[in-house]
Amino acid sequence: RLRAALSRQDWQRTLAWIETLPEELASSERWRYWRARSLQELGREGQATEIYQALAAERSYHGFLAADRAGRGYNLDHTPLKVADELLSRIASDAGLQRAQELFHLRRLSDARSEWRAAIAELDAAELKAAAKLAQGWGWHAQAIFTLARTRYWEDLELRFPVAHQPQIDQAAGKRNLDNAWVFAVLRQESAFAADARSPAGAMGLMQLMPGTARSTARHLKRRPPRRAELLLPEINIELGTAYLRQVLKQLNDNPVLATAAYNAGPHRVSTWLPSKSAPADLWVEIIPFKETRSYTQRVLTYSVI
């Protein structure tokens, strides 16, 4: 009902429905933001600004939107993870983690992950943080990200949002006039920087390319279609992934919000979701009919800021 009211830009009804929500929903960042937006559209600027100012303190999608509305800078506070040397040494001496490290450096990534999962299965939160720090030091960013997430420690932005593969990304993004922060955000969302990532649907590599999409993109670039195994090579995956991202962006009038949604749901489907008349971007994202694509778009836009 709320999204239906938003799709019609019926701000009075949106506000009325928000006020009927249970407290745990009404106090969420999403509905605090849309309460403020409704108040603003209804001319109640003071009440809206008060909510925006409070919400802008959050390091999140709706927090960043509120900061834009309030004219404030984003909250990008970064607190590096601190792990005692003694604990780090003890965790580093674990035989299972040592095997995982060796296998990782041999690029036997599936075996490395198996060893890693077994080794950390019984670790407590402090030990998991130490393990995440170890993985970060090895350059195994995906395991660092996933392991730290289990502890719910969100403040180390450098560990959670690494700039891995920067030379390849800078080169490929620059060649296609793409914002490299946006490309990093897509990689972070698609694979968390796991070069050998494979989805159940068959998408592969850092930018989770479907083999068919990779082949058609390669033909568009007038280059040899890649073999499936080559899609797991970072330089090839990034080259083809950014080329496809540029194609999608061009199809959707160079609108990065639409292109972000289309990278997940496909350009044709996104074209069917376009409103009959111009709509604010934040509103369009909120009423994307697929929950997965809505969440995906919000995460990529958030990650690009970080």
Catalytic residues: 190
Q: Identify the DSSP state of 279.
A: -
Q: How far apart are CA 12 and CA 294, in angstroms?
A: 24
Q: Which residue has the tokens 């239906």?
A: 4
Give me the residues paired with residue 198 across strands. Answer: 204
**Long-range contacts formed by 126-130: CB under 8 A, 24+ apart:** 126/83, 126/87, 127/87, 127/91, 129/81, 129/83, 129/153, 130/83, 130/87, 130/88, 130/90, 130/91
Scored b (16 or more CB within 10 A) or e, 73-85 reads: ebeeeeeebebee
Nearest to 121 by CA among 99, 113, 194, 156: 113
Q: How far apart are CA 47 and CA 54, in angstroms?
A: 11
Identify whether the C-beta of residue 34 lies closer than 8 Å to the C-beta of residue 286: yes
Identify whether the C-beta of residue 261 lies closer than 8 Å to the C-beta of residue 249: no
Q: How far apart are CA 49 and CA 67, in angstroms?
A: 10
Residue 131, both tokens: 């393990």
